[in-house]
Amino acid sequence: MNKKISPLQRDTLIEVVNIGASNASTSLSKLLGENVKVSIPELTLNKLEKIPNFIGKPEDTATVVLLKTSGDTPGTMFLLFEPESTLNITGKLTKNKKKDIKILDNEDQSALRELGNILIGSCITSLANFLKINLIQSVPETATDMIGSVTNSILANLGMVTDEILAFKVDMIIKKEKIKAQMFFLFEPKASQKILSTTKSLIDEKNN
């Protein structure tokens, strides 16, 4: 497990995640019928306890839709919405906008889970197709709480297997509806090595 990754590896990883994120944003755009702006993925490779600051302010409230991925590149993926975005997006999906995230009902939760399924599903499918690897996603789960609480639960579980984590952040913004969805990918080092080696062999294959 090397602490630093070379600029080329960095670009490769960002590009690979970008493919997944673009597919996810296309799905989001089709689902809502709106234009979606997607940012370039941000990458960090850091110690477990430094990751929360990368994700957001620990004391802020947010809604998280979480999926676990298994197969060749094990890791965790999740969507994160700030309260306003949560209400806007559930309102748009269920046609019944709530005034407060504390009163989100089963229908809203279900809509969010399905959203997670669609976005992360399309992302995972495109990654698996591009890298020709085997990736399986779990059922989604939602939680609304302080960002710190949610993330440290996720990180603690990754902490059982690794000290360092490779994390990606992608913002998806729908300006008209005031929705900002942040998509996070947390890979175990083993998974990022796998991504790097497969992309390298793909490039070599093409050159020969």
Partner 1 sequence: MKKIININMADLAVAHENTVLKTTGVGSCVVVTLYDPVKKIGGMAHAMLPSKKLIEKKTFSKSSKKSKKTNTSSKYADEAIEILIEKINNLGGSIKNLKAKLIGGSKMFKILSGDNQGIGFKNTEAARKKLLEKGIQIESEDIGGTVGRSVEFNIKNGLVSVSTKI
Show the site string, 89-128: x = touches partner 1 by CB under 8 A, - = not. Answer: ------------xx--------------------------
Structure tokens at 97: 């906008």
- Nearest by Cα to 140 from 89, 82, 65: 65
Tell me the C-alpha distance between 158 and 141, whole Å.
Answer: 17
Figure out which of the listed residues 8, 40, 136, 156 binds partner 1, where binding follows CB under 8 A. Answer: 156
Please work out the total of residues on this chain that contact partner 1, with binding judged by CB under 8 A.
36
Among candidates 156, 173, 205, which has minimal Cα distance to 51?
Answer: 156
Contact 78, 67 (CB under 8 A): yes
155 binds partner 1 (CB under 8 A): yes
Residues ≥6 apart with Cβ < 8 Å to 141: 65, 66, 67, 113
Q: Which is nearer to partner 1, 11 or 163 (CB)?
A: 163
Angle at 74 between CA 83 and CA 136, to 5 degrees: 85
Q: How far is the CB of 109 from partner 1 (least distance, A)?
A: 13
Asked if residue 146 binds partner 1 (CB under 8 A), the reply is yes
* 3 scored as a contact of partner 1 (CB under 8 A): no
- Determine if 145 is a binding residue for partner 1 (CB under 8 A): yes
Contacts with partner 1, residue ranges (CB under 8 A): 1, 48-49, 52, 58-59, 61, 66-68, 76, 101-102, 138-139, 141, 143-157, 159-163
